[in-house]
Amino acid sequence: MDKDRIAGSAKEWAGKAEGAVGDIAADADTQAAGKVREAAGKVQNLYGQAKDAAREATDTATDFARKAVAGEGQEALAKMVQDNPLGSLLTAGMIGFGLALLLSRPAPRQKRWRYY
């Protein structure tokens, strides 16, 4: 868990509490400040979640690359296909489509000389 997620959750709860105090006291400034703090906490929490997701994706890619270099790539690839068959199918389809586009280009037109 990222420190931004913890701080964001704390700000969010503090904003909710401040908004509740503003509701009880019928103070519009306190209510608004609570909403602002709550929104800032949500944004910071989402930022922390994004950092965690990026870190996890990087770790997964690094582990996959290590296994591929160490000779365990075939087993790692088979496990990845079993875990996510639709994503693997779409990836393979995109690679095949790209190769087909590259290989099926029409031959360049030859310039014909016209003699007048």
pLDDT tens digit string along 54-82?
888 888 888 877 776 766 667 777 788 88
Whether residue 37 contacts residue 21, with contact meaning beta carbons closer than 8 Å, is answered with: no
Q: Report yes or no on whether pTM surpasses 0.75.
A: no
CA-based max dimension of the chain: 96
Q: Residues 75-102: what's their mean pLDDT?
A: 85
Q: Residues 47-54: what's their mean pLDDT?
A: 87
